[in-house]
Chain A
Amino acid sequence: MAKIIVVTSGKGGVGKTTSSAAIGTGLALKGHKTVIIDFDIGLRNLDLIMGCERRVVYDFVNVINGEANLKQTLIKDKRIDNLFILPASQTRDKDALTKDGVERVLNELAKDFDFILCDSPAGIEAGAMMALYFADEAIVVTNPEVSSVRDSDRILGMLSSKSRRAEQGQDSIKEHLLLTRYNPERVEKGEMLSVDDVKEILSIDLVGVIPESQAVLNASNSGQPVILDKDSDAGQAYLDTVERLLGENVPFRFLTVEKKGLLKRIFGG
């Protein structure tokens, strides 16, 4: 049975699509058949981050409306086996997604895949609600910054009240905190909320901490999920995250500032 995971945040620009692309790719690297669905109808971007923007023929809404089947619509990743992308529609609006339609597509995907990753749009409107409704687990992407943390808490409220699991009285959605754009130097200076601060406020389990990194922009520039940049700090942090998501016990890295030499410590820099 497939596991449905929503990648969500409330606030925009915190790294949902970057994280969806990286984690989806990581799950496939680990040998699990994975599909990443772009739920951001009208503002599709997952295709660009995954580097398959020129291979989009049909989209999610076409499948829901029966204008194309899944086989025609799914884009198979050229780098990694077992990885597929279901792109969002660029021309329709959010109302094009119906609960019945989404459920039908998810059920069909579930027959074939181990993981279904739903890349949620920002906000708390129809599109975001649809992305989280059917989820078994949720990755709540948060920046160590006040508005992002507050919005994440809003989304946690939605997960526990507006999801199918909540409505049908099943076990609640398993929630994971993914802290992105983390800057240990600023945390040390008292300029940024620490991992422990955010964990304490949101009180959910931490699945990963991704350091603020040059590698993320470089990766999106070239359409390569950052997890494939194995030498980069962000790439390694995402790989750790995927392993934790799969139940492995991996120590956290990149949480502290690298130790500087004596001269640097005296004169700064």
Chain B
Amino acid sequence: MSLLDYFRSSKKNTANTAKERLQIIVAHERRKRNSPDYLPQLERDILEVIRKYVDISPEQIAVSLEKRDDELSVLELNVTFPDDKR
């Protein structure tokens, strides 16, 4: 970088932005890719069951299947309940 550039440059490093964005989206897509086909339906079914008792929206439920090793997979279910209990 030249001396003139040094005084001129106040631009931010867009390569770092690109890298961060890619790391997030690639990790997200890999997780989705490696999950079984039935996971979205499972998520909808669980949502329906919970809705019989508590009023929650689809955003308040997250289901993920994590493979720890060849022997063990963990199904993680995360439900955020509304504040007012009924």
Task: Give the interface centre of B3, B22, B26, B29 by most chain A CB atoms within 10 Å.
Answer: B22
Asked, given contacts A191-B15, A193-B19, A194-B15, whether A157 binds B26 with beta carbons under 8 Å apart, the answer is no
Q: Assess whether A124 is interfacial by the CB under 8 Å rule.
A: no
Asked if B3 contacts A149 (CB within 8 A), the reply is no
Q: Assess whether B4 is interfacial by the CB under 8 Å rule.
A: yes
Which residues of B (26-75) have their CB < 8 Å from a CB of A? 26, 29-30, 33
* Total residue contacts A-B, CB cutoff 8 A: 58
Asked if A197 contacts B19 (CB within 8 A), the reply is yes
Secondary structure call for the B interface: helix
In chain A, what residue has the closest Cβ to B8? A268
Q: When the two chains form the complex, which single residue of B1, B5, B25 contacts A150, counting CB atoms closer than 8 Å?
A: B25
Interface residues of B toward A: which range? 20 to 34
Which residues from A are CB-within-8-Å of B33?
157, 161
Interface residues of A toward B: which range? 20 to 34
Asked if A267 contacts B26 (CB within 8 A), the reply is no
Secondary structure call for the A interface: helix
A-B contact pairs, 24 of them (CB 8 A): A146-B21, A146-B22, A150-B26, A153-B30, A157-B29, A188-B1, A189-B1, A190-B11, A190-B12, A190-B14, A190-B15, A190-B16, A192-B15, A193-B18, A193-B22, A197-B15, A201-B22, A201-B26, A264-B2, A265-B2, A265-B3, A266-B2, A267-B2, A269-B2
